[in-house]
């Protein structure tokens, strides 16, 4: 089968005919990564046809970018080394996370989503990633809503206005053991500081977050402070580190250092954590627009403690890993 035969005629009609091949050999690796890339005619329209076991879709939510692989056929073998090579931006495809679509674990779900960070570690939740996978699965199934199994639990998503995807990210958790922290502590004001940052709010949105409130988020050197705080002994599972600037009754400027990734353009669970943390501190109500480097997410903290996130998704290109 040639690379062109891997896609149906209908799918090929969505793709620009020109393509290129990039090859990269990872030092001391036992395999070679070969990438054949097809670019969609409409860069904003997700390509949502079923993928073969070696094909991938490059998607993003507000610049938080993903390699999405459909592994429901059962023949995709991923491990930390291979994930790191695929995520490498110079020699691989390049991404913040790799999302692996697997057979569902429950009767309610359409699929189980494995989430691999760029460092090869597997994590529990990814808000922007689940929007991308939800868009893929809903178009594939011709539905307006979908449920997805994750390590953080069952997540439900539906189509919203302006082509956006709305996701119920589940309940926010605040107990120190649920974050988790290394010792008992008030999660509304952690005993933690570094440079200009101090006393963050801890929130678990399927993964651990520490949110520091600042007067000007743009002035914080998150690239320098983030990795030091991520690996602080207070966080036995490490943590995502965010800085939040409350700009009004319904607006937050938020920047983030993601655990196992680094500085990203957007973090869905981080935006949820920032909004909930600001509300717990009495700085804002229960709904806000959270402005990230890559764009804006609308977040609402419901009375039942569930957090809803609404934002856009996009497709960059499609290709093959050989």
Burial of 77 (0-12, 13-18, 19+ CB in 10 A): exposed
Residues designated as active site = 126, 267
The pLDDT of residue 39 is 57
CA–CA distance, 295 with 53 (Å, rounded to integer):
32
pLDDT in tens, 128-165: 999 999 999 999 999 999 999 999 999 999 999 999 99
**Domain spans of the chain?**
4-170+313-321, 173-304
Helix (H) or strand (E) holding 11, with range, is helix 9-12
The pLDDT of residue 99 is 98
Beta partners for residue 262, in sequence order? 258
CATH class of 4-170+313-321: alpha beta
- 3-state SS of 246-304? EEECCEEEEEEEECCCEECCCCHHHHHHHHHHHHHCCCCCCEEEEEECCEEEEEEECCC
DSSP 50-107: PP-TTEEEEEEETTEEEEEEE-TTS-----HHHHHHHH-TTTS---SEEEEEE--SSS
pLDDT in tens, 227-286: 999 999 999 999 999 999 999 999 999 999 999 999 999 999 999 999 999 999 999 999
DSSP 108: S
User: Same fold for the domain at 4-170+313-321 and the one at 173-304?
Assistant: yes
pLDDT in tens, 37-85: 555 555 445 444 444 447 999 999 999 999 999 999 877 889 999 999 9
Q: Are 90 and 37 in contact (CB under 8 A)?
A: no
CA–CA distance, 123 with 88 (Å, rounded to integer):
18
Angle (deg, nearest 10), helices 268-280 and 127-141: 120
pLDDT in tens, 178-212: 999 999 999 999 999 999 999 999 999 999 999 99
Q: Are 318 and 57 in contact (CB under 8 A)?
A: yes
What is the CATH code of the structural domain delimited by 173-304?
3.10.310.10
Q: Are 97 and 117 in contact (CB under 8 A)?
A: yes
Nearest of 173, 161, 165 to residue 148 by alpha carbon: 165
């Amino acid at each position: 089968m040639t690379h062109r035969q891997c896609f149906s005629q209908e799918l090929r009609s969505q793709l620009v005919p020109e393509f290129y091949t990039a090859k990269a050999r990872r030092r001391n690796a036992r395999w070679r990564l070969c990438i054949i890339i097809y670019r969609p005619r409409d860069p904003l329209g997700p390509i949502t046809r079923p993928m073969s076991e070696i094909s991938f879709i490059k998607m993003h939510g507000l610049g938080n970018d993903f390699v999405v692989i459909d592994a429901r056929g059962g023949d995709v073998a991923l491990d930390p080394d291979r994930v790191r090579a695929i995520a490498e931006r110079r020699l691989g495809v390049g991404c913040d996370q790799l999302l692996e679509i697997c057979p569902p674990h429950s009767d309610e779900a359409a699929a189980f989503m494995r989430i691999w960070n760029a460092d090869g570690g597997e994590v529990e939740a990814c808000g922007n990633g689940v929007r991308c996978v939800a868009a893929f699965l809903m178009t594939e199934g011709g539905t307006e809503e979908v449920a997805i199994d994750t390590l953080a639990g069952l997540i439900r998503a539906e189509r919203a206005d302006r082509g956006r995807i709305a996701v119920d990210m589940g309940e926010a958790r605040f107990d120190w053991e649920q974050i988790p922290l290394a010792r008992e502590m008030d999660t509304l004001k952690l005993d933690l500081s570094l440079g200009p940052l101090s006393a963050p709010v801890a929130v678990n949105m399927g993964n651990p977050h520490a949110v520091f409130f600042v007067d000007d988020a743009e002035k914080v050197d998150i690239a320098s402070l983030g990795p030091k705080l991520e690996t602080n002994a207070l966080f036995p599972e490490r943590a995502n580190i965010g800085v939040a600037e409350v700009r009004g009754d319904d607006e937050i400027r938020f920047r983030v250092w993601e655990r196992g990734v680094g500085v990203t353009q957007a973090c869905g669970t981080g935006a949820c954590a920032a909004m909930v943390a600001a509300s717990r501190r009495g700085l804002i109500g229960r709904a806000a627009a959270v402005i990230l480097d890559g764009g804006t997410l609308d977040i609402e903290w419901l009375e039942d403690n569930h957090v809803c996130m609404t934002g856009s998704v996009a497709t960059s290109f499609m290709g093959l890993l050989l």
